Structure 1
């Protein structure tokens, strides 16, 4: 699908497609926000459980939910892929969450800011039972962590959070279920369902969710994507690089990039000006800070992930993580001379740097 919109242009960020199943008088199935604008793009969503028999699916350009600059949607093709009961991934689709968009700033936030981009799942076994964990990538994080802190500590300005986890037995019965609520709390899910799909809503400026409430935008993304265990969560963005594009376009639309770029200022610049690192560590201590610095050619000065400023958030936990270092525009990898890795803490500490897996 495509439209004449652009995620970087205020008031023309997206068109919205609304889907109904079995007549427009029935329950709305979901909305699809076309964040890729005039570029033909495959939007992967779920329809949920549909009983055997004859059904109709209606799709509409929803002018009321689209931004002002949107006037049409071009739908080239549509494929419906059934997931039978015999499919080994059936439970992953069966329990995938439905998410209502945020409406804290305005009723139409989801058509231009912090919109859900990608849902994925992870499966963890507990004896014969299994946990299915669902996580979401949003296009931005409007609150909670500043852009400079996001780039230094997480290596991106998207928001990534787990939103729902469910424990099921071999018979597919739900044993436990939780969602990530305000304050990053792990809360027992007691909300509504559509068939077996839990209904959630984004309720905070940093995209925590609740099992109560609805809004004008209803998302039902496909949970088909899984995550590699030996990488950070951002590997999903690497595998779908269009997420970096939408991340950057939203920063442009919201005027969050400084211009001209200055790698020595604390302001964030174009995402293409950064060196991205993925690494794995073991860390022990309190008040931990893991930072990086690099030098270009024969230059005497260093470029720091935290801009050599302790007020900027740094990586502070072990495991697979990301960070970035802002460099002058047009810097290439071959311009790098050396990489420095630094650790500090409020008391005694140890950091074991096990692997630097990606540099780009």
Structure 2
């Protein structure tokens, strides 16, 4: 059961008794929930306090629209403003806000019992860009999910991720300017024990400063964000954690058993590597408690979560610009693997199945090709680097770099190409679909998908390429 709470008449009375002025006005619309409107959290001003009346105990989330005038993730020294959110003086989460346009965010707050609670919103000046002065929060809403609701288990065991604090990378507040956590989600599946459930939690970061290089990210993963599973846990038929079942993704992508601390049922993790792997000790000053309520539908690539949160593409592109990972416009050409303006790429998701084991030093991948109406050149997603082709099966995202200014109408055909890595294993590949294809607009947000295809094309040693879509 979901219960929504906010500043009500009784909560306003609590403020009056405490000698405070309500920071926002609650408005209730027919068929809607109460919300506070237009809270401004300002540098060098007292913290904003918002009372919340909880009618039924449960795991809480907070929905809000956010904007930070004068900030821009693409500009060094103006990247973001940070608001630290506490509940009853318990530090819950940081919120990194970039840009002056309102953006919807959803965060977790942990368990709240029935009664009156106090949200405290603090402008974290030491974590914010010097140019930032305030954060505007609008339509703030707190909801709780009680035991028995479909969402309760996912919220109950959601991990808290402390920020990255690698001394070689400078500031202890690194995630306020780079590789910041953007969104989280969970997946639920039957465990090996009948009646038990396995919950897996994943995060999208704005980039990874280590690990896969930028051109390879675009070719092999179809984006320059970093997407990782971070934690999983098995729960029994009563919804209780199976002792010793929880694991996390550690350095070098190892899976290790969690032996750290819990806050209630929430495991405390920390980002400990430059490519956003976890450790189970937490001592960084920043803390991220993203809501994991989003899920990944079966058959979708993980990038589906970015597609449904399109603002993540804008943050992705702006970080590449600020960090100098985009080649100069004067040198831009699809003939080189260096990443150009990310608006020059076709963003596609390919479905395929390999008819053999496809691991080890030798394997068979697939590359996506694009030919334009005004020429014979085929632009390839892997830039003729075999290891940048798509190795994983089913839905896999990739990008194809095209000449600047290319539009959907310029594309004549899309092709699939069999790519051999190492020694040819003889594996055949069935290419069965393109789930979406789009460009980024001038604002770096995804435009409408114009490219879908379903079929079955076999690529093998005799047929190494085939047209899978033609205008």
Interval containing the TM-score (normalised by the shorter chain): over 0.9
1:28-74 CA distance string (max 9 Å, x none): 22111113x21112221011012223321111111011122212112
Q: Is the 8 A contact 1:95 1:196 kept in 2?
A: yes
2:84 to 18, 21, 25: 18
Shift of 1:146: 0.6
Whether 1:89 and 2:151 are equivalent positions in the alignment is: yes
- Structure 1 distance, partners of 2:419, 2:121, is 55
1:28 to 91, 96, 104: 91
Match for residue 341 of structure 1?
416
**Does 152-161 or 3-12 show the bigger shift?**
3-12
Match for residue 67 of structure 2?
2
Match for residue 264 of structure 1?
335
Larger radius of gyration: 2
Match for residue 351 of structure 1?
429
**Does 106-115 or 148-157 show the bigger shift?**
106-115
1:128 to 179, 186, 195: 195
1:229-274 CA distance string (max 9 Å, x none): 1110001111111111110011111111112131112210122110
- Structure 2 distance, partners of 1:166, 1:309, is 38
Match for residue 224 of structure 2?
157
1:127-171 CA distance string (max 9 Å, x none): 311111110000011110011000000000000000011110111
Match for residue 178 of structure 1?
247
Q: Which runs of 5+ in 1 are unaligned?
A: none
Q: Which runs of 5+ in 2 are unaligned?
A: 1-65, 439-471
Q: Is the 8 A contact 2:163 2:271 kept in 1?
A: yes
Match for residue 289 of structure 1?
365
1:303 to 375, 379, 385: 379
Match for residue 173 of structure 2?
108
- Structure 2 distance, partners of 1:68, 1:315, is 42
Shift of 1:324: 0.7
**Does 323-332 or 294-303 show the bigger shift?**
294-303
Q: Is the 8 A contact 2:389 2:419 kept in 1?
A: no
- Structure 2 distance, partners of 1:119, 1:342, is 33
Whether 1:146 and 2:213 are equivalent positions in the alignment is: yes
Shift of 1:179: 0.5
- Structure 1 distance, partners of 2:173, 2:118, is 28
- Structure 1 distance, partners of 2:115, 2:392, is 52
- Structure 1 distance, partners of 2:125, 2:370, is 49
Q: Is the 8 A contact 1:288 1:317 kept in 2?
A: no
Whether 1:216 and 2:289 are equivalent positions in the alignment is: no
Q: Is the 8 A contact 1:232 1:278 kept in 2?
A: yes
The aligned length equals 355
Q: TM-score, normalised by structure 1?
A: 0.95
Shift of 1:344: 2.8
Shift of 1:300: 2.2
Q: TM-score, normalised by structure 2?
A: 0.73
Q: CA RMSD in A?
A: 1.3
**Does 148-157 or 70-79 show the bigger shift?**
70-79
- Structure 2 distance, partners of 1:51, 1:298, is 65
Match for residue 225 of structure 1?
294
Shift of 1:334: 1.7
RCO greater where, 1 or 2, for CA within 8 Å and sep 6 or more? 1
Shift of 1:288: 2.4
